[in-house]
Amino acid sequence: MERYLLVALGGALGSALRYGFGAWVQGVLGPAFPYSTLLVNLLGSFFIGLVLRLSLEGVLSGEGRLFLAVGVLGGFTTFSTFSYELLTLAQGGEWAKAFLYAGLSLLLGFLLVFLGYRLGGALVG
């Protein structure tokens, strides 16, 4: 039961962080492109790489991994929102933006999870 509570609390925190960060990004950059979801997913990719590496190296406990990776970052990242925004761009005939958004999300997300993982290794190595 304690593990479920860790995930639930982390998820609530991650969701609140996503909402606040997303609103701030939208306010700064505007609604013309789904910048907030893109940046949330990229940051989430970096931090999940970092958290999982620190967990694998024994620096972070299993409970810490659950709280941060599954809870906080699971609540923070927004794949379902990404999918909907991609559909909205495509339905609006904005194919260039749709491909740019999908490409940036996937390629930069992969790069950032790799960098976070490497940083985790460097911090403990």
Instruction: State the SS3 of 43-94.
Output: HHHHHHHHHHHHHHCCCCCHHHHHHHHHHHHHHHCCHHHHHHHHHHHHHCCC
Q: Which residues of 34-52 are buried (b: 16+ CB within 10 A; e: fewer)?
A: bbbbbbbbbbbbbbbbbbb
**Residue 105, both tokens:** 């999300």
Give the pLDDT score at 42.
Answer: 95
Domain boundaries, the chain: 2-124
| Residue 116, annotated as binding a ligand | no
- Alpha carbon 81 to its chain centroid, in Å, reads 11
Q: What is the pLDDT along the chain (125 residues), one digit of tens a residue?
A: 899 999 999 999 999 999 999 999 999 999 999 999 999 999 999 999 999 999 999 999 999 999 999 999 999 998 888 998 999 999 999 999 999 999 999 999 999 999 999 999 999 98
pLDDT of residue 80: 80
Q: How far apart are CA 22 and CA 15, in angstroms?
A: 10
pTM: 0.85
Per-residue pLDDT at 49: 92
77 is in an annotated binding site: yes
